Structure formats: C-alpha cells, structure tokens
C-alpha cells in the first residue's frame, strides 16, 4: 500500500518545471493550440484523424519528458560529484608540529598569557552578569589568569583539507593546566548565608580545532569541530580560611562546567566561528562602540515545505494538497526582525515567495564586536500570532587598521566573508537560512557609519577625527567635577504607544550615575523637547541611561530604552546622534552631548572656592505636588542632604502648593545638594513625593540663582529654590540672627525639653490625635538646633582661615621677622 501511495503522488513542482522547460526550449509550443483546433475541424468535417493523432502526441510527449528527466539527472549527478570532489580532496599528509608547541611555550608567558587573560576576562564578566546558579545571588570576578602553561596543539599532527573553495586546517587542541587562577566572589542565596570565594585552579579542554584563513590571509576563523570535552576543579573558601571541598555548595561545580561548555557551543563550535584579525597596520585604538546601518533587501525561494515551522509543513501530501501548498507559497506574508544585542527592529510585511523589503535601520553597537541576527516570521492573516520560520546571522569585528570584518555561515556550512576598508563603505551579503537546504536566501546590506574610540576620536567616512590631548595625558577624563556633561534631548521620531486610544504622550528620563533628570511631556509620535540637562562627569566608563515613557491614566508605560557611552568626549565639540530605542520595534531619540570644563576648578571636588565660603539655600515654595493622602492633599516638607549633612524644613499641612521661605546654610565643600520632598505622617512611614538635585558648582560667587526645578520620580511637581555660593570677607558677613548663636541654641534646647514633657503627657493620656503636632514641632526644633551648630562650625572655619591669611600677610610684610624666625 505504501508503495502504491508513493507512486500515486504527483510532484507539482516537477510538473510545473517540466512545462516551463518545454516552453523555454520549444518556443513554438503555443502554436499547437491553434493547430489542434485545425485538426479538430478536419476531424469533424472532412475525415477522421482520431486513430493516429493521439498516438503521435503521446510518443512526442514521452520523448520530451525523457529528455528533460535525463538532463535533470545529469545535472544532479554533476552537482553531487563536484561536491564530493571539493569536500574530500585534496587532503594533505599528516604533518607533525612539535615546533609550534615549542614556539608557543616561548611566547606564552610574556606575550600571549597577559593578552588572552584580559580578553577572556571581559568575556567572562559579561557572561556572569546574565548567567547565575540558583545557589548564588550575586557573582563577581576578582582574579583571572590563564597561568604559565600553554595549550598543546596538534599532538597527533595537522592536515589541510578543502571544503568548496575554502582551505581548512584541522589540528588537535589539548589544554590540561593546574596553574590557572580564576577567583570569583559569590554572595550565596538562601537558605545559605554570607559570601564565599570560588576558586578554579585547574582546567582541561580537549577537542579538534579548525582554522580557516579568509580574505586573502587578512583574518583567520577558528572553531571546534564538535563540542569539546571540559573539566574543571573548583574549591571553596571564605576569607583567610582553608579551601573547602567542592561539595560544600552542591551543583556549583557542574554549573560552571555547563556554563563553559554552553559558551563554547554557542560561540565557537561548528558552524559558529570566531575571528582573529591579522592587520598590516596597528593603529592601537580601542573601539568602544559604533553606529551601523542595516538594510534588509529581499528574500528568495521561500517555501513553507522547507522553512522551519509547524510539523504539518514537512508531512507528505497528495496531489491536491501539493498543488494547494504551491499556491499558498505565493501567498506567504513574511517580515524580518533584525536583532543587535537588546536592539530589535522589524520590516514591513510583504507577500510572496520572493518578498522585497528594502528597509534600513539605525543600529547601535556597544563594543568592538557584535552579531546581527535576522529572524524570518510569517504573519497569518486575521491573527495576531507570528510563526517563526528561520534565521541567519552576520558577525562583525573592528580591526585595528580602522577597517571592519564581516563573516557569516555560507551554503553547506561554508564561509561568507567581507571586508570594509573604511567607514561608509557598503557591504552586501546573501545569506542562506540556517538549517534549510532548499536554497532559501536573504539579501542584506551593512554600512558602518562610525566607530567610537576610548580616547574620544571617531572614525567615519574614511576620516579619523582625533581628540584633543587633555592635561592629564591621553585620556580626556578629568576628575568628577573637572567637567560638566551637557545633555540636550532634542526630539524623537517614530515612537510607539501602548494606549488603546492610539495617543502618545512621551517623556524621557535620563540617568547618569545617581542623578536622574526628566523632560516635559509631549503629545506626539514625533515629539520635540529641546531640553538641556547638566551632569557631573563620572569616570570609569559610566553610561548615560535613557528611558522613554508614555504618560497614561493608570500608570506610565515604557516605550523603549537606550544607553550612550560618554567616554572620550571632546571639549568644544557637540556629539549629535540619533539613538535607536531598545526593547521595542520602532523609535529613535536625537541627543546632543557636550563636555564643558569648569574654569578655575583644576580637579577640585566641588566649587571653585572650597573651604572659603558656604552655600546659602532658600527653599521658597513648591507647586502642583502629587497627592499622597487619600483626601487628595499632602503634608509636604523638604529633607535636604548635602554630603553627610541632613536638614529639613517645617511641615506644611494639607496643601499641594506649600510655601516654606526657609533658609539653610552649608559649608562649601562641593558635595551634591539633594532635595527630597516628603509627605509627613505622624504614625506611618513618610512617603516620597519627588526629589531633585540643585546644581550650584558653576555659580559665580555671591550671585543668587533663582529657579524652579522639576521633581523626579513623580508625574508632576516643581520646587522653587534660591541658591547662592557665598564667598565674603569675615567682617562683612552678617549674622543670621541678632541674638548670639550659642544663646539661641540653648533657648531651643529648653524648648525641646518642654516639648518632650508635653509629648510624654499625651502618650500617658492615650491622646494619639494630638501627638502629630508636638512631634512635628519637636523635629523642627531639632533641625533648628543642628542648623545653628552648623553656623557655629562655619564661623569657626572662616575665623581660622582669616587668622591664617593675616599671619601670612604679617610674615610677607616683615622680612626681618621672617629671618629671625628662620634663625631660631
């Protein structure tokens, strides 16, 4: 029965190809139709031809089909023979390579070990951030060294082979070392407690390594033929204690082995390959990011029967089902999702088995290497569900001669490699889909628009814009307050919305270090903000984090995020970039970034006059605060934090527009000045209704800055402050109060004692309603006392500085006195 069914099947594709071939090779075939009509007329009106015409037609059709089938068989045999010849020959004789291991032994300790340790350390740190064991809450890499023992290469010899037009070297890889030193600090999760050190002190990796030279020897691709054998020896300890057995934390050792094996399998096991570049020139530049334009051009020969999808697509069908499937391939509705890190973009949906998209996307790379993945999906009409069909990928890497190498998996697991000598040069590649052998391909084009380097220079359009050398050497980073970073959120485009009404009310939050800033809310899918924010520059590769939200009635929805590296900013030049939003399929923000130096600072931690003045902050009022109480009001007060000093204002009850008009003073040491607006509660914990940072470091001395500052972390609210950086002479500084500070402090202390007595009596009488007022007054008195103590400390500091200045003047004006003191 099975044989009969198979013989009864009709291959629709073969029938269609047969008739197409007949039409191509026999252009006169369409003339048969009128000829048949003439024969039919002769048959009907003159004499009968039905006895011999069908026989002639049958013989002719049989001969044509036989010729076609013979030609197809010959072509198929030629393809198979060519594939066998190219894949199996030539294979060179086995070559011994003891010299290679001797050379590796000589250069390993001083050259290769330090470089490979640094490279693998960065890779391990990235992997540990995303992969953790269930027994470990937090994992940190403390030490990484590959040790003095190099791996052994080709112990049983090496040989060359040819796969297609690609030369491949195969050699054994065996690395068994007990000198490796990898130390991890793990914070153990519950039910365990504390921290533990995980020490990897031995490693064994064994497998077959493949080396493939590409681009005329400009680079080498390397990978393992299959997943290598991996063994680790793990020890545990805590502090200075002795190492404990690995079974002390069950599962961690096997998890580390699995993590290493999975990493190797996903990154450098055939057909996944890594690239080692061999540039003729080394410009010694470290690329930290780049901007890439990715264009999805088209696809060809898409078919449900061969692409990855539901199992029903791979089942055999009868003639009617095969014809229906062939027709449905012409009705495919597909799109491509482009993925680079956390950034994804989608093309429009196009019909047909050879769709044309021509969609270009602006993508951002946060390293000197990256993988651009292309995922093909089918959209089912009338359904919101997308069916995954297939995928392919392109890897790219910056080369130190200022070029870029691209490589991908080719047909029959071969290699596709391209080289872009400079930024701006287009690279076009036709990629086969992985796991599909029916000829489906995707055409894409990539253009590296810009590479960004750690020293602040940029490489774009075949030009390198060098950074200006800083005062501290090659790096442009000064100390924390040596420069300011001005960030302007200019505009956005193609933003998305999650609101069912289709409206978009976007705003942007910026975070740099611990400082948060927020733009106003716009009302457009292509908003324009033109808002400028200022941050203190932070070293150590800190990113500017961007989050975009749309304001909704029942909670704001995130519509994308991004991050920008601020390394190597050049003073006097503005970096103007369009940043694509991650974790969404559409949306970009235009950001302008500028580094500004503070005159006269020279690396001081705060203002230009540290230790020679104070900061006067006047908290005037606030408006449009959020309601923290159920009655629709709040009891707001402000908690001010300046370094380690904390102050607070009085509480204004039942209002969203409080007025304090309260003055606070702090010694000027350059610390951040933070304001936290709180809602007062007598018995319950206080709740936050917004916070902000007051920038004062760049203010001219003795000039007041009057401004409204929007509150962060809430939907609305602003606070009105007046801040002045005071640098007066001691004798010109007026006192805050005509009453002596010490007398005033004692008076406040007596009031606090009376208030404590009153509070104790209310507690004894169980009068909970009356407790809130004396508690608030007590907190206000305590803050006033702390304020006067700070005033005394400030006056003392100014007095000591003045005495020091007078002493220096006396010494400079009396040379004889100076000589007497030096003799004595």
Contacts of 220 by beta carbon, 8 Å cutoff, 6+ apart:
211, 212, 213, 214, 275, 276, 278
Give me the residue spans of the domains in the chain.
12-88, 98-277, 286-306+331-445, 482-597, 613-726
As assigned by CATH, the class of the 286-306+331-445 domain is mainly beta
Q: pLDDT tens digits for 695-704?
A: 887 777 788 8
Per-residue pLDDT at 375: 93
> In the beta sheet, which residues pair with residue 429?
444
Residues 290-302 have a mean pLDDT of 91
- State percent of the chain over pLDDT 70: 70
Check residue 607 and give its pLDDT.
Answer: 43
- Residue in 542, 545, 575, 544 with CA at minimum distance from that of residue 558: 545
Q: Which CATH superfamily is domain 613-726 in?
A: C2 domain (2.60.40.150)
What residues does 578 pair with on adjacent strands?
A: 590
Indicate the pLDDT class of residue 144, thresholds 50, 70 and 90: confident
Closest CA to 358 of 290, 267, 294, 434: 294
Average pLDDT, the chain: 76
User: What are the tens digits of pLDDT across the range 198-224?
Assistant: 888 888 999 999 999 999 888 999 999
CATH of region 482-597: 2.60.40.150
Residue 64 corresponds to which tokens in the numbers above? 């044509």
Q: What is d(CA 431, CA 448) in angstroms, rounded to the nearest whole number?
A: 19
Pairs from 44-47 (Cβ < 8 Å, separation ≥ 24):
none
What CA–CA distance (Å, rounded) separates 201 from 677? 52
Q: What is the pLDDT of residue 134?
A: 67
CA distances from 521 to 506, 509, 593 (A): 6, 11, 21
User: If you average pLDDT over residues 598-603, what whole number do you get?
Assistant: 45
Collect all residues with Cβ–Cβ distance below 8 Å to 370 and sequence separation of at least 6: 292, 340, 341, 395, 396
> Using an 8 Å Cβ cutoff, are 725 and 607 in contact?
yes
- Intrachain domains 286-306+331-445 and 613-726 with the same fold: yes
Flag whether pLDDT at 556 surpasses 60. Answer: yes
Closest among 40, 75, 74 to 57, alpha carbons compared? 40
CA distance linking residue 48 with residue 441, whole number of Å: 54
pLDDT band for 546, please (50, 70, 90 cuts): very high
Q: Please state, in angstroms and rounded to a whole number, the distance separating the CA atoms of residues 198 and 128.
A: 13
Neighbours of 70 (CB within 10 A): 10
Pull the structure tokens for residue 519: 């733009």
Only one residue has tokens 């202390």, namely 749
Average pLDDT over residues 425-450: 88
> What is the layout of strands, in order, in the sheet containing 673-679?
645-648, 636-642, 673-679, 687-694
Task: Indicate the angle between helix axes 53-88 and 12-25, nearest 10 degrees.
Answer: 100
Give bridge partners of residue 111 from the DSSP assignment: none
Question: Would the pLDDT of 731 be above 60?
Answer: no
Helices (H) and strands (E) in the chain, counts: 11, 37
The DSSP bridge partners found for residue 274 are 222
DSSP assignment string, 406-445: EEEE-GGG-EEEEEESSTT-EEEEEEEPTT--S--EEEEE
pLDDT over threshold 60, residue 600? no
DSSP string, 79-131: HHHHHHHHHH---PPPB--HHHHHHHHHHIIIIIHHHHHHHHHHHHHHHHHH-
């Amino acid at each position: 029965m099975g044989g009969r069914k198979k013989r009864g099947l009709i291959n629709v594709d073969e029938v269609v190809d047969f008739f197409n071939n007949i039409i191509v090779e026999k252009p006169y075939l369409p003339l048969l139709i009128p000829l048949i009509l003439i024969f039919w007329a002769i048959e009907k009106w003159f004499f009968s031809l039905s006895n011999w015409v069908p026989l002639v037609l049958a013989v002719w059709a049989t001969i044509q089909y036989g010729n076609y089938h013979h030609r197809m068989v010959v072509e198929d045999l030629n393809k198979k023979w060519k594939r066998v010849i190219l894949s199996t020959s030539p294979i060179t004789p086995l070559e011994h390579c003891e010299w290679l291991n001797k050379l590796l032994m000589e250069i390993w300790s001083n050259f290769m070990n330090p470089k490979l340790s640094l490279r693998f350390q960065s890779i391990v740190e990235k992997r540990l951030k995303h992969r953790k064991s269930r027994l470990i809450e937090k994992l940190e890499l403390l030490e990484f060294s590959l040790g003095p023992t190099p791996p052994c290469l080709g112990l049983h010899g090496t040989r060359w082979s040819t796969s297609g037009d690609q030369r491949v070297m195969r050699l054994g890889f065996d690395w068994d070392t007990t000198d490796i030193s990898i130390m991890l600090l793990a914070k153990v999760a519950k039910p365990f407690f504390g921290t533990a050190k995980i020490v990897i002190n031995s490693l064994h990796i064994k497998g077959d390594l493949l080396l493939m030279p590409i681009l005329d020897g400009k680079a080498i691709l390397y990978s393992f033929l299959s997943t290598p054998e991996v063994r680790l020896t793990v020890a545990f300890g805590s502090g200075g204690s002795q190492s404990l057995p690995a079974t002390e934390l069950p599962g961690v050792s096997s998890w580390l082995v699995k993590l290493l094996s999975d990493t190797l399998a996903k990154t450098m096991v055939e057909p996944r390959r890594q690239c080692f570049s061999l540039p003729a020139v080394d410009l010694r530049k470290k690329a930290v990011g780049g901007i890439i334009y990715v264009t999805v051009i088209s696809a060809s020969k898409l078919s449900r029967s061969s692409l990855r999808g539901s199992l029903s697509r791979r089942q055999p069908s009868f003639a009617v089902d095969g014809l229906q499937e062939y027709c449905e391939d012409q009705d495919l509705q597909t799109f491509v999702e482009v993925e680079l890190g956390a950034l994804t973009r989608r093309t429009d949906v196009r019909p047909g088995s050879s769709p044309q998209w021509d969609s270009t996307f602006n993508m951002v790379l946060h390293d000197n290497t990256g993988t651009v993945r292309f995922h093909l999906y089918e959209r089912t009409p009338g359904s919101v569900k997308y069916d995954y069909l297939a995928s392919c990928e392109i890897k790219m890497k910056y080369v130190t001669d200022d070029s870029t190498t691209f490589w991908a998996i080719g047909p029959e697991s071969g290699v596709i490699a391209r080289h872009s000598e400079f930024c701006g040069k287009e690279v076009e590649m036709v990629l086969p889909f992985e796991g599909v052998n029916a000829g489906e391909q995707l055409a894409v084009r990539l253009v590296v628009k810009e590479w960004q380097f750690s020293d602040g220079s940029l490489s774009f359009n075949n030009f390198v814009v060098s950074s200006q050398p800083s005062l501290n050497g090659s790096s442009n980073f000064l100390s924390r307050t040596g420069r300011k970073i001005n960030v302007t959120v200019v505009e956005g485009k193609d933003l998305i919305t999650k609101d069912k009404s289709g409206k978009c009310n976007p705003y942007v939050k910026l975070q740099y270090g611990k400082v948060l800033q927020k733009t106003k809310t716009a009302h457009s899918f292509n908003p324009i903000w033109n808002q400028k924010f200022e941050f203190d520059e932070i070293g150590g590769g800190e990113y500017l984090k961007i989050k975009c939200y749309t304001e909704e009635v029942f909670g704001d929805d995130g519509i994308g995020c991004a991050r920008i590296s601020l390394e190597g900013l050049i003073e006097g030049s503005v970096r103007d970039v369009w940043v694509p939003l991650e974790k969404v399929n559409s949306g970009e923000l235009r950001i302008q970034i500028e580094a500004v130096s503070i005159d006269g600072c020279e690396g001081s931690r705060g203002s230009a006059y540290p230790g020679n003045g104070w900061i006067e902050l006047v908290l005037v009022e606030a408006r449009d605060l959020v309601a923290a109480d159920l009655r629709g009001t709040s009891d707001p007060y402000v908690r001010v934090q300046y370094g380690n000093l904390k102050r607070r204002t009085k509480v204004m009850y039942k209002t969203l527009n409080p007025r304090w008009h309260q003055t606070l003073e702090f010694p000027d040491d350059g610390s951040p000045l933070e304001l936290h607006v709180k809602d007062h509660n007598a018995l319950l914990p206080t709740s936050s209704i917004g916070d902000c940072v007051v920038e004062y470091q760049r203010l001219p001395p003795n000039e007041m800055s009057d401004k409204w500052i929007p509150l962060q972390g809430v939907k609305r609210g602003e606070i009105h402050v007046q801040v002045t950086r005071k640098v007066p002479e001691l004798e010109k500084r007026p006192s805050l109060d005509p009453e002596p500070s010490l007398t005033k402090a004692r008076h406040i202390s007596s009031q606090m004692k009376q208030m404590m007595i009153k509070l104790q009596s209310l507690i004894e009488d169980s009068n909970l309603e009356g407790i809130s007022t004396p508690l608030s007054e007590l907190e206000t008195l305590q803050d006033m006392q702390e304020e006067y103590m700070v005033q005394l400390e400030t006056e003392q500091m100014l007095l000591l500085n003045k005495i020091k200045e007078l002493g220096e003047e006396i010494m400079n004006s009396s040379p004889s006195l100076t000589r007497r003191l030096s003799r004595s």
